[in-house]
Amino acid sequence: MKRKLLSGWRQPELRGVLDVASWLILFTGVVVQTAARGVESLPPITALAVAPSGMEVVTGSQAGLELRRIPHVGPAVLSRTIPQFDLLRRLPTELEHIHDIKFSPDGNLLCVVGGSPSQHGAVELYRWPDAILHARRELHEDLNYSVAWQADSKSFAVASSDTRVSICDISQEAPLRIIEGHSRSVLAIAYLPGEYGLVTGGVDESIRLWEPATGKLLRSLSNHTKSVTGLAVRPGDWPGPPTLASIGLDQTVRLWQPTIGRLMRFARLSSPPLDVGWLNDGDSIVVVCKDGKLRVIDPDSMEVLKEIPAIDGIAYCLAVLPNGKVAVGGQSGQLILLHPTKR
């Protein structure tokens, strides 16, 4: 298949809200009916990213890409707030489904991945802060689910439902490398710091560590008993090998040192976690779950420290703000701001 790189862009027709009878089938395999209540309902927010300024979030859904202002909430608010995330602008996108949004480490580019089921996966790059479409590439023969940036902001890796991973350079049309090895869809991807490698996870229940420069498989970890749906590298300067948190549909959160193949410990939850991150100091894991709650987990004991109601329905994605608050997106277009204090 010939890959296209578009140096320009056209203004697409922005997709509106879904008909109340529409069904949304997302990567978790969960089928969600939009809430009617006599009016049209928004599709779920399936991807979130905090802008480099720390003052806006970009949201992704079947309604498109939107830039919204993060509301100011005083330090006294400790749990759940429902302020208004004012819409600043809509970004032009041709993606039917949006599954991940990541800013480059230098803050100059926004990468959005998704596509059309069983047809193609696509990647859109936007210059930032202008929010102008810089390039669009068709990568893979099915949906793209996750993206991770290299620390130098010059390359990124994309995980796809077609079982493959692409390593891409921002200045080149074709991928630098295609990595193959997973037997089923790849749902999650993350770069370890420094030269420690690239980690992927997917429906085949495995977590795999790769050498990005060659595509060589270094390790395969198979402790999850259902699909691996998310990966997050512990931030900060912690002693020892890099630490990775993984989540799966087996309702577990697992903590790894993947470079030495070590499963450190795990927590079993009452609801499947659908997205994972770390608070900025790296001393707490945060996950959002199918039951709509955000959970704060102590990585030293894997004790669930807090369960905070977030979304009325399913919570699909989260983004940690510089001030430690967490934005949570979910069913029916809900976008919630939380302050998950640890104790």
Mean pLDDT of 30-47: 57
User: Contact at 8 Å (CB) between 263 and 280?
Assistant: no
- pLDDT tens digits for range 254-272: 999 999 999 999 999 999 9
The mean pLDDT of the chain is 87
Boundaries of every domain in the chain = 23-338
C-alpha 12/C-alpha 313 separation (Å) is 30
CATH architecture of 23-338: 7 Propeller (2.130)
Sorting pLDDT into bands at 50, 70 and 90, what band is 16? very low
DSSP per-residue codes, 265-327: EEEE-SS-EEEEEE-TTSS-EEEEETTSEEEEE-TTT--EEEEEE--SS-EEEEEE-TTS-EE
User: Contact at 8 Å (CB) between 157 and 212?
Assistant: yes
pLDDT at 232 over 70: yes
Mean pLDDT of 157-161: 97
C-alpha 131/C-alpha 129 separation (Å) is 5
106 by DSSP, 3-state: which? coil
pLDDT at 76 over 50: no
Mean pLDDT of 326-331: 97
- pLDDT tens digits for range 161-206: 999 999 999 999 899 999 999 999 999 999 999 888 999 999 999 9
